[in-house]
Amino acid sequence: MTSPKNRAVFLDRDGTLNEDSVDYIKSSSEFRLFEFTPSALRIFQRLGFLIIIISNQSAIGRGLTTQRAVDEINDVLKSTLQESNISITDIYYCPHKPEDKCDCRKPGTGNLERAIAEHNIDAAGSYFIGDSQKDIQTGAAAGCKSILVKTGINSPLFRAIQNWDRRPDFVAENILEAAQLVECLERSRNK
């Protein structure tokens, strides 16, 4: 007998959970969690979703930071959230530059597929939430519902979204509004 599949919320990191920078987030001293992020993740956790981060961290490949520094940033993120009793299930990131043409860099689905396999996840019952077209493309390619949040530094105008080959299923102001939307969708689904 196979165990039931888990459902997950796959989240981009920079620009979705924390402030982003055109110069990249290169150290834990530059990391600033959005004040509403813990409330949002608490909703996802209460709904029974695994919380998994899928992130591009090309500053490593560009020589602007190190894998150790990115791991320290992720440790700060996890420990900050643990203070609010929020657990991050896993974090996957791509250290490569766009020109490296790897499958783990979004919109490639390598890291997402790995997370789905390693955590026995039902992609169709899961969400991918991020602040860029790459996030939406990644989630859609794996069969997840997608939510675009407008908190990124290069947040696209709604007109621009209309020209994307894969459009988000939903658009939210921020991760908290996205969580509230998922909560409403789950309520409707369970009626």
158 pLDDT higher than 70: no
CATH class of 8-189: alpha beta
Question: DSSP state, 20?
Answer: -
Torsion region of 85: left, alpha or beta (phi above 0 gives left; psi -120 to 50 gives alpha): left
Catalytic (active-site) positions:
12, 14
pLDDT range class, residue 143, cuts 50, 70, 90: very high
Q: Domains of the chain: which residue ranges?
A: 8-189
Instruction: Note the pLDDT tens digit of each residue in 3-46.
Output: 789 999 999 999 999 999 999 999 999 999 999 999 999 999 99
